A = this chain, B = another copy of it.
Amino acid sequence: MIVAAQLDRSIIESIVRQIVSAQSGLSANKAAAPASAAAKPNLVVSISARHCHLTDEHVEILFGPGAKLIPEKPLYQDGFYAAEQTVMVVGPRRRMLPTVRVLGPTRKASQVELAFTDAISLGIDAPVRHSGNIKGTPGCVLVGPKGVVELTEGVIRAARHVHMNNRDAESYGVKNGDFMKLRVESPQSTVVFEDLLVRADGTSKLEVHIDTDEGNACYLDGATKVELLKQSADCKCKH
């Protein structure tokens, strides 16, 4: 197990924390029952701290005319990055989170992804949604150094999911849109997360995304083993 370097000194301010399962760890995984005999790829489990995605228009309102997102750190998936920019997220009762990281590139709709702990602290009843599916979700106010945006919708708790390419999907015997389970074994805090949506395409790297509540619940930083299991697989959890 390797704990990837944190991006900031303070964990709470870090954008992503990761656990990487080495090949040897995964080969000890007897439950995944790959459909082929091909070597399985390394499994990366990433904790996404609260963050937001912005449209080009909102970047200019918040950070000034002509402003663009400035990449600061690349994320694990190629082409995605944590920007230098942060925004303040303000809830309905004027509670706020002062520095929420913007992730790039820009999107067609702005969206704020919070853990329930964050949403509760803001007084927002955030629904569990997959990224991009924000119709009818609560809004919030974003405050940047040059302007303010009122989002009428877009505040969600991102539903847990796993990115992979089609070869990975084949090796696990799953396809895009299926559900899997993630088992994280850690001292006194082992958890099995069900309802893990498979998002398979031609190019993504194998990576599970969970939020800070989920990462803290399973003590991911102390994990000794991570396993990706078919939802329908026989459970090998200490049985």
Of B12, B128, B181, B219, which contacts A121 at CB under 8 A? B12
Taking Cβ atoms with an 8 Å cutoff, the residues of A that contact B are 10-12, 115-117, 120-121, 123, 128, 159-160, 181, 187-195, 212-214, 216-219, 222, 231-235, 237-239
Interfacial chain B residues near A116, Cβ < 8 Å: 216, 219
In contact, B219 and A10 (Cβ under 8 angstroms): no
Q: Are A194 and B194 in contact (CB under 8 A)?
A: no
Which residue in B117, B123, B231 is a CB contact (below 8 Å) of A216? B117
* B192 lies within 8 A of A115 (CB): no
Kindly identify which residue among B11, B195, B237 contacts A194, using a CB–CB cutoff of 8 Å. Answer: B237
> A13 CB to closest chain B CB, in angstroms?
10
A195: chain B residues at CB < 8 Å are: 188-190
Which residues from chain B contact A222 at a C-beta distance below 8 Å?
Answer: 128
Residue among A159, A181, A194 with most chain B CB within 10 A: A194
Closest to A213 in B: B216
B120 engages A189 (CB within 8 Å): no
